[in-house]
Amino acid sequence: MARLPRLCLPDIPQHIIQRGTNRQACFTSEKDMAAYISWLDEAASKYHVAIHAWVLMTNHVHLLATPTTRDGISRMMQTLGRYYVRYFNQAYCRTGTLWEGRFKSCVVDAEAYLLKCQRYIELNPVRAGMVSFPQEYKWSSYRANGIGRPIKPWTPHPTYLALGPTTQKRTEAYRTLFLGQIDVKVIDEIRTASNQGMALGDDRFKEQIEALSGRRVRPLKRGPKVDK
């Protein structure tokens, strides 16, 4: 089956996933993570991409970002990958690729799913058993979104800002979102849309994206089963 063209629309958030090849480690120290964040900040600024949430895991990365141009995300990830892979290969005396093919992504309905997606991203270390609470993990955006500590490359999305008129009100409201478990259905929706390059949102949002992009953003329906 032919691969669908990458979907990138200005001013619409995207959930991005990039994994290490064969699920191997792409970060082995805090120095590696600091280098990645530094180049992410530079590339995001250069290509005018706002980064709302992120988490760096041992063998993969999650980002939630909004581009201002149709090629902003791709150019940001290409530049980031070029610098980081060169650094990683030199640091660990290795050659070849680091990432598992091209990154995966999906567009996100900001009104209905942006905060759910941020929560999903920032809870990755908790689900992995690395920490008990998201604030205990240094390499994510939770310190900005949940505690109110501005850190690069964080840019709050308007949906997040609408949680309250002050930093204290916003962070208090944001932390309440983490009191319960994420619905399993929501986790499945996020993972499916991201892995298949679809749209994360309701039917109205998906119809809008299909009209804007000229390509489908929903999985094809299976045909009727044929008895043999």
**pLDDT tens track for 114-140:** 999 999 999 999 999 999 999 999 999
Q: Is residue 228 part of a domain?
A: no
Q: Is residue 33 part of a domain?
A: yes
Q: Is residue 5 part of a domain?
A: no
Q: Is residue 7 part of a domain?
A: no
**pLDDT tens track for 176-209:** 999 988 999 999 999 999 999 999 999 999 999 9
Q: Is residue 147 part of a domain?
A: yes
* The pLDDT value given to residue 1: 41
Q: Is residue 79 part of a domain?
A: yes
Mean pLDDT of the chain: 93
* The pLDDT value given to residue 218: 81
pLDDT grade for 219, boundaries at 50, 70 and 90: confident
The domain of 26 spans 14-209
**pTM, to two decimals:** 0.93
Domains: count for the chain: 1
* The pLDDT value given to residue 3: 67
Q: Is residue 28 part of a domain?
A: yes
Q: Are 146 and 125 in contact (CB under 8 A)?
A: no
**pLDDT tens track for 138-157:** 999 999 999 999 899 999 99
Domain at 120, CATH number:
3.30.70.1290
